Amino acid sequence: MKDIRNIVILTGAGVSAESGIDTFRDGGGLWEQHRVEDVATPEAFARDPDLVLRFYDMRRESIQTKQPNAAHHALARLDREWEGDLLIVTQNVDDLHERAGAKRVLHMHGEHLNAWCTACDARVPWTGPLIGRPACPECGAAALRPDIVWFGEMPYRMDAIFAALERADLFVSIGTSGAVYPAAGFVRNAREFGAETLELNLEPSQGTPWFDEARHGPASELVTAWVDEVLGA
């Protein structure tokens, strides 16, 4: 690590799985017994907004009962103690990185604890239900939806992510399937920019062949051990 100063970390569902948050898809292509096409696309929201709002209301309520695990705490420690550039790009829409204490976090797929007003484009903190069509705190319109990037929509702050990848000396992917783009392509972007690459995942992912090194096992164990190595603990 003596030549490493700038680190970009991509985290996916595998980081939060040990906190009791289900991974996005199971083997049947379902998300918590729902077809992704029914709850995670703009077309689904247009077709049956009540179904989509109820689904996300349940997820928003559930996430507030979960707690960060050892992997979140290890990354928060790295964030506190690493003196170089560090960016944690997360595909997760929970707030467990922040609750563990991490500050340098970018949510590329949005956040469950935010709502987005499609009338005035405001994004506001939101912990309650949306099914009752509450008014936007900024403009008063009944136009709030989950602040979640659905399939077919552009992830947030891609310019900032690519700028960080361009500067990175090390790219680390933690708990991701390597199946959802554009995040699945970050390892190749990082390699093209000259960064070293490391995968920490429960099992080999679709992107494993692209990494310089891959370690497989529970995130709570792998991430804690890796952060200890990085910080010389």
Residues catalogued as catalytic: 109
The owner of tokens 């595998």 is 14
Q: Which residue from 172, 215, 168 is spatially nearest to 192, judged by alpha carbons?
A: 168
- Which two tokens mark 209? 């062949």
Q: Cα separation of 41 and 33, whole Å? A: 16
- CB-facing half-sphere around the CA of 164: CA atoms within 13 A: 24
Q: Cα separation of 103 and 87, whole Å? A: 9
End-to-end distance of the chain based on CA atoms, in angstroms? 13
Q: Which amino acid is at 81?
A: E
Q: Which residue from 159, 158, 124 is spatially nearest to 143, judged by alpha carbons?
A: 124
- Listed in sequence order, the DSSP H helices in 48-143 are 49-63, 70-81, 96-100
In the DSSP assignment, the letter for residue 88 is E
- Which two tokens mark 45? 């929201």
